Chain A
Amino acid sequence: MLTLNHFLVLGAILFVIGLYGAISKRNAIAVLMGIEIMLNAVNITLVGFSFFNQTKPYSTYLTGQIFAIFIITVAAAEAAVALAMVIAIYRKRNTVDVGEIDVLKF
């Protein structure tokens, strides 16, 4: 029997995996992938909450699912922009190592 907790635990595990990837990977593409995983972890949580909440009227209990669709859209746009930036940075500096992209400081 699937309960809300299963969804939440899955979301949390995915989120932490994504966070680990975003923080520890040196490759910018891998960092982006980590961020995508984090976004999808949040999506799972939202959809799970939405699915298990049957007490609200129809117009409101779909909110979580609509949010998830929005996030998928935004994530797609974000991926497009981020990849374009990664390519631009690579052309400029010949590297995609986030450890070396540190010009924006004091």
Chain B
Amino acid sequence: MELLYQYSWLILFAPLFAFAVIIFGTRVWDLQSRPLGEAPASQAEAHVVEAHGAEGDEPSAHSVSGEHGEHGDYAVNPLDDDEDPKVAHLTPGAVVSGYAAIVIMALACIYSWALLLGSLFTGTLAASGVALISYDWGVPGYTIAFHLDTLAIAMMVVVTSVTLLVQIYSQGYMENSAGYARFFSYLSLFAFSMLVIVFAQNFLVIFIGWELVGLSSYLLIGFWINKRARPDEQRPSPASASLQAFVVNRVGDVGFIIGIMILFANTHSFDFAYIFGHVGSIDKALLTTAMILVFCGAVGKSAQVPLHVWLPSAMEGPTPVSALIHAATMVAAGVYMVARTYPLFAAAGPQALGVVAWVGAITALFAATIALVQSDFKRVLAFSTISQLGYMFVGLGVGGDLGRGPGMFHLFTHAFFKALLFLGAGSVLHSLHHATHREVQDMRQMGGLATRMPITAITWLIATLAISGFPFFSGFYSKETIIGLTLERGDWGLYIITLGTAGLTAFYMLRAYILAFGGRDGALGGLWGGTYRGEGVPHESPPTMTIPLILLAIFAVFAGYWVGFFSYVQPGDPSLNIPGLLGSIDTWVGVIVSLAGLGVAYWMYCRLEPARLHAVVENNALLRGLHRFLYNRYYVDEFYDWLIKYVVLGLAHVAQAFDTYVVDGIVNGAASLVTFFGSDLRRVETGRVQSYMIGFFGGAAVLIVVVIVLVTFVRG
């Protein structure tokens, strides 16, 4: 076992290795083996065109990269409104790139499962963990160090498993993409970045991983660089969405890095264990401030209010990327970081964890209400992720004796069912794309898909029930634990918010399911099949896409039965007490609220006529206003637009004016003052020696007189 732990750094570097193999090996092969029209273009040319496509938004850039880019000379389907360049068939280089990424990730996944099972059953992994790599580059305190402990293993299993399934799935989803090899290399880079965070032993490394995750998400969200914005569906272009994700995360990172600096200034170390040990030497109020600032980083990365705006925009990336971002690699980083530094939060004043819990609770409710009315299939899921992340922070905030357990448990179960939801959504979009030759994400153009794609539908239903907290699915255990904990702490505000959000979650998830897969005239009272409102004939996706769905569905049901999770991630904690949970009244209150949400959704979308529902909302001013308010996501995006446009840019203009007129004015004024006097003074320099002589001796005479006067009258 000891050897197994010692070599676990192989898991960390496996995705990086895959990235290098693809970028420097198979992708080059892919590009070179591609027929590029008449002139066999070199590698360099392909890169030039690709870069051109990345920067240009004008139509000419589109046509250039669309026809000749790295993508060969294959005709783009004129019906295809998705401007992502396609190839007719993948080259061997591209296929091998995919296999390289999958095989390496599969090995890493097997290794991490071996670590999990090994440490779970032998219990040989010390609570303090095992140090793996430590590289000190000469400056004391600044160490690149990785270590392995149970928390890292629990997270690592999620990351490698979800990444592996997403990569297998991407083989089907990206089947015709011209950037196939590039896509797999970015997925590997994304997994590597997240694993850096998972293995990090100090704040320095976690921050490096943090920024790497930001970079990889930027590359992947903006993967379809040529796609344009769709103002009619309120969808930004992927290029601006990726930029938004990057910039919004920077806002949070400012707080994060200031928090790290406060901790470093007071303990002279980045090392987690060292800071935990010396936490007593930090002033309590200062520590609380530092931890709230560190939490700012998590707010940005985990898309909590008010920095949540990037996550719905990030839906513009390919759907497997959304699954990865939402389940394992990006938003989980914030939760993991808070769990990792949990002893510091616990040592700080109660305000620190209070802020964590309340930000989480407000986010959960806020995002859930928005998700109620969204019509974009993926955007519902985006807001549900934000909402569930809010639950995780509530779980961390109210953890109490259980510490990081409840929040991480919800992260663990959520990773599987949210990946399943996204991959299922991707399966639907993929199939609709084949059926309609357009990109369809609006649920009003779906419906009745269950009979047409049964595997996707059944797995999606399982995930819906899991996220709704339906009894005996995984989400039930993690979510009811958190809701129960808020009640146990006696915080009624948190309890009511989390309880209400559970009902809302159940409502909007079943609503999305019925709108996409069911309909009034379907079987099972409308839950299975029904009228399809779109064009074409959708079919079930290929097995490379459905097999990951089935595997994830198994986890979505059973992940909650790992009762030892709390004691695993935080030794000494009690296990999850399932009979106790089932016997407690507040659990069943939660279940009733969730069932009520499901029931209302069923009644509204399976029993009522859509036109009547529409009429009721349209005829009631209050409902109509509320619907518009929620549909526009509380106008937060508009508010930020306004804020940037008038306040930030206004301040920038003031600053620029200050620079132009005051700073430059002082500098230029000094110069012109000297010039002004100099132009007159230069007349003194006549070139005549005798006038200089007069000046010299006259000056000397004046000085002598002054000295004599001073000596005579002042001293004497």
Contacts from A to B (Cβ < 8 Å) = 19, 22-24, 31, 98-99, 101-106
CA distance A19 to B694 in the complex (A): 9
Instruction: Collect the chain B residues with CB atoms within 8 Å of residue A22's CB.
Output: 690, 693
Question: Which B residue's beta carbon lies closest to that of A38?
Answer: B697
Q: Which 6 A-B pairs have the closest CB atoms?
A: A105-B687, A102-B687, A106-B682, A102-B688, A104-B687, A105-B685
Whether the pair A31, B685 counts as a contact (CB closer than 8 A) is no
B689 within 8 A of A: yes
Whether the pair B697, A31 counts as a contact (CB closer than 8 A) is no
Instruction: Collect the chain A residues with CB atoms within 8 Å of residue B686's CB.
Output: 102, 105
Majority SS at the chain A contact face: loop
Within 8 A of A (CB), among B663-683: 682-683
Whether the pair B687, A23 counts as a contact (CB closer than 8 A) is no
Instruction: Collect the chain A residues with CB atoms within 8 Å of residue B689's CB.
Output: 31, 98, 101
Extra contacts besides A101-B688, A102-B688 (9): CB < 8 Å = A22-B693, A23-B694, A24-B690, A98-B688, A98-B689, A98-B690, A101-B687, A105-B685, A106-B685
Whether the pair A23, B685 counts as a contact (CB closer than 8 A) is no
CA distance A23 to B701 in the complex (A): 15
Instruction: Collect the chain B residues with CB atoms within 8 Å of residue A104's CB.
Output: 687
- The bracket for how many chain B residues form the interface is 10 to 19
Contacts from B to A (Cβ < 8 Å) = 682-683, 685-690, 693-694, 697
The 12 sampled A-B contact pairs (Cβ below 8 Å) are A22-B693, A23-B694, A31-B689, A98-B689, A99-B688, A102-B686, A102-B687, A104-B687, A105-B685, A106-B682, A106-B683, A106-B685
CA distance A23 to B698 in the complex (A): 11
* B690 partner, pick from A23, A103, A105, A106, beta carbons under 8 A: A23
Instruction: Collect the chain B residues with CB atoms within 8 Å of residue A102's CB.
Output: 686-688
Question: Which A residue's beta carbon lies closest to that of B683?
Answer: A106
CA distance A24 to B690 in the complex (A): 8
Instruction: Collect the chain A residues with CB atoms within 8 Å of residue B693's CB.
Output: 22-23
CA distance A88 to B161 in the complex (A): 97
* A99 partner, pick from B682, B690, B697, beta carbons under 8 A: B690
CA distance A98 to B691 in the complex (A): 10
Instruction: Collect the chain B residues with CB atoms within 8 Å of residue A105's CB.
Output: 685-687
Smallest CB separation, B527 vs chain A (Å): 97
Whether the pair A19, B685 counts as a contact (CB closer than 8 A) is no
CA distance A101 to B693 in the complex (A): 14
Instruction: Collect the chain B residues with CB atoms within 8 Å of residue A101's CB.
Output: 687-689
Instruction: Collect the chain B residues with CB atoms within 8 Å of residue A99's CB.
Output: 688, 690
Smallest CB separation, A25 vs chain B (Å): 8
